[in-house]
Amino acid sequence: MTSPRTRQRMVERLREEGIRDAVVLAAMGEIPRHIFVDEVLATRAYDDVSLPLGFGQTISAPFTVARMLELARGGNPIGKALEIGTGCGYQAAVLSRLAREVHTIERIAGLLGKARRCLRELRIVNVKVRHADGTAGFAGAGPFDAIVMAAAAPSIPPDLPQQLAIGGRLVMPVGTREQKLVLVVRGVEGFAETTLEVVNFVPLLAGITR
């Protein structure tokens, strides 16, 4: 249940469910999702479900990860990316195969330690992990070609679109009772916002935990 063949079955399922970006599919097939979840859940790692991580957080279902990263790429290479909500580090690991440089922010210290261990185990060196409040993004490392947020905010934090490079893409869930995936693209003359499908994420919270 944790073999490369199992990952390829997951990739085939993602393709059947509508993921078209071959680069994203290849990255999903390369990263072993089972090492990012608790050992007792490893046999479910490649099912299309979210799984608990502790601390009230979850690892997103494979389709959700693939969908968000496909939107973030928009069919183009990513130079610099920002992820808000590292969690266990799985999405950052997949993103490391799509971007030259990845900055990822996590507010919960216990999760951050696990993410760092997993990224080291896979010898991923282009992901920079930061223990911080990610609600305002990370302007000091921008501008970014892609920003992906793995928690739902009531509205788009006003600082985030400003941290996009021209042509950059922000993907995040927005809403409280009903959440929807939102894509923001920065153009030369401003921002274009598109509201997409209903999703279900943990809420975006401010502050950090030690």
Question: How do residues 75-108 score in pLDDT, each as one tens digit?
Answer: 999 999 999 999 999 999 999 999 999 999 999 9
3-state secondary structure (DSSP) of residue 207: coil
Task: Identify the active-site residue in 3, 60, 96, 155.
Answer: 60
Domain boundaries, the chain: 4-199
What CATH number was assigned to the domain covering residues 4-199? Answer: 3.40.50.150
Q: Is it true that the peptide bond before 52 is cis, omega within 30 degrees of 0?
A: no
Please check the confidence at residue 3 and state whether its pLDDT lies above 80: no
- Mean pLDDT of all residues in 54-65: 92
CA distance 126 to 201: 26
State yes or no: is 60 an active-site residue: yes
pLDDT band per the 50, 70, 90 thresholds, residue 39: confident
- Mean pLDDT of all residues in 14-33: 97
* Residue spans of beta strands (DSSP E) within the chain: 51-54, 57-59, 78-84, 99-106, 127-131, 144-149, 164-174, 179-187, 190-199
| Type of residue found at 134 | G
Q: What are the pLDDT digits (tens) for 119-169?
A: 999 999 999 999 999 999 999 999 999 999 999 999 999 999 999 999 999
